[in-house]
């Protein structure tokens, strides 16, 4: 059967091949008008907007092209590099850059976007008002949003602003997004400094205000809180005493989190029933092995009991529990505290085990092929 007689919608599926390079798709688009119309949705499905490099003459044509076909874009990555405030009259570059309102208007053509990755990590100049304006825009102006990745670097010198420095309009809570099911929040402390830790409560408080009920339907949550470079134990311990507002989420089915032992676990940040979690990906300290030299030891297995209905447990580092590093004892330990556990995956060792229980309640396991 000739490919020419295939319906256009089938032709689109045929051309949606990950092995095809952009150049290949461009060549295919010249075969005929029908092939051109079939290639366009694939060719413009993913767009990375690098600000400000995308505004330079050599890349601006690409930005214009993607803006023209913006309704085909489904995956949008926003990379912000050295945002320069236009009010900074000392900077020649700042005179040619748009303000945040103009920047957001550049994103308007992407009406059908479903996946957004917002990178401002390691970036100086992305002030809090700019950060909140972009975030609020993404969750309020992209109603078909399915997945959102937020990366914020709390670098030294980024002190929380006073209330009067924030535009209240950038913190308007958004309604529930029916399709929004995946949230990835990554907070990185690149350099040691009191402003870094002090900024975290400010971030959480306003994140709850800005997101409102938009995350209610989130079922897949990834949380990275990297605070390891800060050695000020008083500041770190102060985090333990903060009563954070909770972001409302109806039910978390899949959870992955990476953070220092005992510091701001998900239960202190999200208003949800973690008993619904079926897939849990965590460092081994969650299994009750240790809480770090400066924190009190938790009772073995206490952290796991929060996730009593987990069926798949993925350990991201060396597998150690309160039983030490003995594999057999550790398997029994996690299976004991997770009564519905069916699969244990050790990412660091690339090993995977199937877990079952006999009629008398005793635990058996079998090593199976490792699945990435």
What are the residue ranges spanned by the domains of the chain? 1-43, 278-372
pLDDT classification of 51: cutoffs 50, 70, 90:
confident
pLDDT classification of 168: cutoffs 50, 70, 90:
very low
Contacting residues for 329 by C-beta, under 8 A, at least 6 apart: 321, 323
Instruction: Convert the pLDDT of each residue in 253-283 to its tens digit.
Output: 999 988 766 567 788 899 998 999 999 999 8
> CA 308, CA 66: separation in Å to the nearest integer?
47
Instruction: Convert the pLDDT of each residue in 199-232 to its tens digit.
Output: 788 888 888 888 889 999 999 999 988 765 555 6
> CA 59, CA 95: separation in Å to the nearest integer?
19
Q: Which range has the worst mean pLDDT, 6-10, 109-113, 173-177, 351-355?
A: 6-10
**pTM attached to this predicted model:** 0.84
CB of 327 within 8 A of CB of 319?
yes
> Which pLDDT value is given to residue 278?
97
Coil, helix or strand at residue 79? strand
Q: Taking 80 as the threshold, does the pLDDT of residue 303 lie above it?
A: no
Count, residues in the chain = 372
| Cα angle 199, 200, 203; round to 5 | 85
> Which pLDDT value is given to residue 230?
52
- Higher-pLDDT residue of 51, 120: 51
Which of 55-64, 148-157, 348-357 has the highest mean predicted lDDT (pLDDT)?
348-357
CB of 97 within 8 A of CB of 55?
yes
Q: Taking 90 as the threshold, does the pLDDT of residue 85 lie above it?
A: no
Cis omega before residue 52 (within 30°)? Answer: yes
The H-or-E segment that residue 129 falls in is: helix 128-141
Contacts of range 33-40, beta carbons closer than 8 Å, 24 or more positions apart: 34/8, 35/11, 37/8, 38/8, 38/11, 38/12, 39/15, 40/69, 40/72
Q: What string of DSSP letters covers 233-269?
A: HHHHHHHHT--PPPEE-S--SEEEEEESTTSS-GGGT
């Amino acid at each position: 059967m000739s490919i020419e007689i295939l319906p256009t919608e089938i032709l689109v599926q045929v051309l949606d091949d990950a092995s095809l390079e952009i150049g290949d798709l461009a060549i295919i688009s010249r075969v005929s008008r029908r092939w051109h119309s079939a290639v366009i949705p694939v060719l413009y499905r993913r767009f990375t907007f690098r600000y400000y490099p995308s505004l330079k003459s050599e890349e601006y044509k690409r930005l214009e092209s993607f803006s023209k076909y913006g309704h085909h874009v489904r995956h949008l990555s926003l990379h912000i590099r050295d945002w320069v405030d236009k009010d900074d009259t000392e900077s020649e570059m700042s005179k040619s850059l748009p303000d945040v309102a103009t920047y957001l208007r550049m994103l308007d053509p992407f009406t059908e976007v479903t996946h957004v990755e917002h990178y401002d990590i390691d970036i100086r100049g992305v002030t809090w008002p700019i950060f909140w304006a972009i975030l609020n825009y993404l969750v309020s102006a992209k109603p078909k949003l399915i997945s959102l990745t937020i990366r914020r670097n709390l670098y030294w010198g980024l002190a929380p602003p006073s209330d009067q420095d924030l535009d209240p309009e950038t913190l308007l809570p958004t309604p529930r997004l029916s399709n929004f099911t995946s949230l990835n929040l990554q907070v990185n402390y690149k350099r040691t400094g009191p402003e870094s830790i002090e900024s975290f409560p400010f971030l959480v408080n306003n994140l709850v205000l800005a997101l409102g009920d938009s995350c209610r339907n989130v079922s897949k949550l990834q949380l990275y809180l990297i605070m390891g470079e800060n050695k000020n134990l008083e500041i770190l311990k102060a985090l333990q005493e903060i009563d954070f507002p909770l972001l409302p989420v109806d039910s978390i089915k899949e959870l992955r989190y990476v953070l220092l032992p005992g510091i701001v676990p998900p239960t202190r940040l999200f208003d949800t029933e973690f008993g619904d979690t079926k897939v849990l990906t965590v460092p081994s300290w969650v299994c009750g092995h240790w809480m770090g030299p400066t924190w009190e030891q938790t009772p073995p297995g206490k952290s796991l009991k929060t996730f009593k209905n987990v069926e798949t447990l993925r350990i991201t580092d060396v597998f150690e529990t309160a039983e030490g590093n003995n594999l057999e004892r550790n398997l029994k330990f996690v299976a004991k505290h997770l009564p519905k556990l069916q699969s244990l995956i050790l990412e660091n060792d690339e090993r995977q085990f199937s877990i079952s229980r006999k009629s008398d309640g005793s635990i058996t396991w079998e090593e199976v092929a490792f699945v990435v």
